[in-house]
Amino acid sequence: MTSYAGVPPVFADRTRDACVVVPGIMGSVLQDAATGRTLWGADLAALTGAVSGESLFAALQTTEEERAADVGNAGTGPVTRIRATGLLAKPWWLPVFEGLDPYTDLRKALSGVVLAPEAVAPFPYDWRLAVSYNGALLARAARAHLMRWRARVAARPDWRATGERVPRLVFVAHSMGGLVVRAALEQDPELAADTRAVITAGTPFLGSAKAVLALNLAHAQAGPTWLQRRVQALAATLPGVHDLLPGYRCLDVGLDVERLTAGDVARFGGDRDLTERSLAERARHREDGFAMPGHRAIVGDAQPTVQTLHEQRRAHLAVAEGRHHAFDIDDDRQLLRDPATGIPARRNTYGDGTVHTPSAQVGTQAVTYVYGQHGTLMRHDEVLRQIRRIALERPQGAHLGPGDTALRPGLEVPHLGAALGEPLTLAVTGLTTPAGVSLTVRSATTGRPGHPLTPRPDPDRTDRALTARFTADAPDLYRVTLDTGAHPPITQLVLVTPPDTRTR
């Protein structure tokens, strides 16, 4: 070893690995392949204007060929007339699914810990289609990205200070993106061997009851607005939405709880054939025990979350009513019952507002809990910090658990939005006093100054939540921010539409 004169250098903390960002449902910009017209993720007029939005939502409905797309035809050329052109770059919103923030902050966070920005590759995909189909496309795209990055690293001897290990893959996936990653790694064992870590945030591995609510909008006559009718009509044709259906026992029938059947979902407004395919996949996953390499799950906690469903009849239609409790299951997958009454043991497991906690944490013991809403997790400071540390291959340290159960701040906003002139009721859950609580509403599109609100105890709420009401002065997408001063702020998006969109 030669001697070194001078001050030894301190190398930048970087990873040699290649990163792939996989967004969730609604998280990719979609474009008409023939005309170049952007159909999704670019212009909020598609959500606030009935005239412009009607044709866009109709264009997003799947064809018979698109509904049949699966692993077998993923490499035979385009089955879809729509292409995904990039990750969502501006806030978006839909009834039931609620707000979704762009992935700009996530890409910036990853770019700060890799050797060069090109080590981070986005994987936009047509989220309307089946998870298995998109998984096959991801497997090929990730393999090509890894090969390109390995060649780049090999050509740069000045990067040897970061180590001699051959670069591997790190997947960072939000929501449905985690299901797409799992499908890709299941289908390509060699790719799994080349994967160092999979980070999922808010991924519904067991499904989400909210998928049923989206399929049920027309039956429930929520609103009703042209937007909600169009969302239901669109959702009923999408394999991707059906792939989010809950596979766990979620249908509360009083003295028992059952798994959904294809007939149940069809009554609620879904497609029977798409449901059968999705539920068969759920059953397979319950049995095969496939584990993703280096899987770390980031789970939103303490938010009011629909976990189970109850069927009501209304004008000869089946209406799905969401409930904020789940059911305890023992190690043999049997329903636990109260020994005194025999009634199924109900328990509020909370979640991120869309995915309940057990669904997001299944398949791994490496779980980090954060107080955050589903659609805004990828802008959450603690989530970004965890992702950076995992990408750098440093120990995560003690996982952040649920913490003090006496202080579990949660945020609840109307998941169907509102029309202009209608007050939005905003709820702060998990707190008993408004002292030190800041609740602000501001435009997510224009940056206009926020409206500070003072939440008050609400005697009409059985959960003793604090509530505040806000009436918007213009149609827009609004960001609601809850800040307790003791935890990272929790945010959610909510849409206010023009008053003339509320038509029966």
The model's pLDDT over 161-214, given as tens digits with 9 standing for 90+, comes to: 656 688 999 999 999 999 999 999 999 999 999 999 999 999 999 999 999 999
The mean pLDDT value for 400-408 works out to 47
Please tell me the predicted confidence (pLDDT) of residue 397: 40
Residue 308 pLDDT more than 50? yes
Q: Judging by DSSP bridges, how do beta strands 410-412 and 169-174 pair with one another?
A: unpaired
Which of 276, 298, 292, 360 has its CA nearest to residue 326?
A: 360
Give 401's pLDDT tier (boundaries 50, 70, 90): very low
Comparing 287 with 302, which gets the higher pLDDT?
Answer: 302
Say if residues 209 and 252 touch (Cβ distance below 8 Å). Answer: no
Please tell me the predicted confidence (pLDDT) of residue 225: 79
CA–CA gap between residue 323 and residue 304 (Å, rounded)? 10
The mean pLDDT value for 371-398 works out to 84
Please tell me the predicted confidence (pLDDT) of residue 161: 60
Q: What are phi and psi of 388, to 5 degrees?
A: -60, -45
Please tell me the predicted confidence (pLDDT) of residue 133: 96
Please tell me the predicted confidence (pLDDT) of residue 314: 85
Give 500's pLDDT tier (boundaries 50, 70, 90): low
Give 104's pLDDT tier (boundaries 50, 70, 90): very high
Comparing 355 with 4, which gets the higher pLDDT?
Answer: 355
The mean pLDDT value for 462-466 works out to 84
The mean pLDDT value for 479-500 works out to 88
Residue type present at position 225: T
The mean pLDDT value for 403-422 works out to 79
Tokens standing for 57?
């939502």
The mean pLDDT value for 108-117 works out to 95
Please tell me the predicted confidence (pLDDT) of residue 160: 67
Report the SS3 class of residue 89.
coil
DSSP state of 262: H
Comparing 351 with 42, which gets the higher pLDDT?
Answer: 351
Residue 403 pLDDT more than 90? no
Give 74's pLDDT tier (boundaries 50, 70, 90): confident
Rounded to 10°, the helix 176-187/131-154 angle is: 70
pLDDT tens profile 17-64: 999 999 999 999 999 999 999 999 987 777 776 555 678 889 999 999
Secondary structure percentages of the chain, helix, strand, coil, to 5: 30, 25, 45
The mean pLDDT value for 145-163 works out to 85
Give 464's pLDDT tier (boundaries 50, 70, 90): confident
Please tell me the predicted confidence (pLDDT) of residue 504: 45
CA–CA gap between residue 260 and residue 285 (Å, rounded)? 16
**Going from the N-terminus, what domains does the chain have, and what CATH number goes with each?**
18-391 (no CATH), 410-499 (2.60.40.10)
Please tell me the predicted confidence (pLDDT) of residue 53: 65
CA–CA gap between residue 214 and residue 243 (Å, rounded)? 13
Give 121's pLDDT tier (boundaries 50, 70, 90): very high
Please tell me the predicted confidence (pLDDT) of residue 338: 85
Please tell me the predicted confidence (pLDDT) of residue 468: 94
Share of the chain above pLDDT 90, in %: 66
pLDDT tens profile 240-263: 999 999 999 999 998 889 999 999
CA–CA gap between residue 90 and residue 380 (Å, rounded)? 16
Please tell me the predicted confidence (pLDDT) of residue 44: 79
Please tell me the predicted confidence (pLDDT) of residue 59: 92
CA–CA gap between residue 373 and residue 490 (Å, rounded)? 7
| Residue-averaged pLDDT of the chain | 89
Give 1's pLDDT tier (boundaries 50, 70, 90): low
| Residue in the block written with tokens 């698109």 | 66
The mean pLDDT value for 317-336 works out to 88
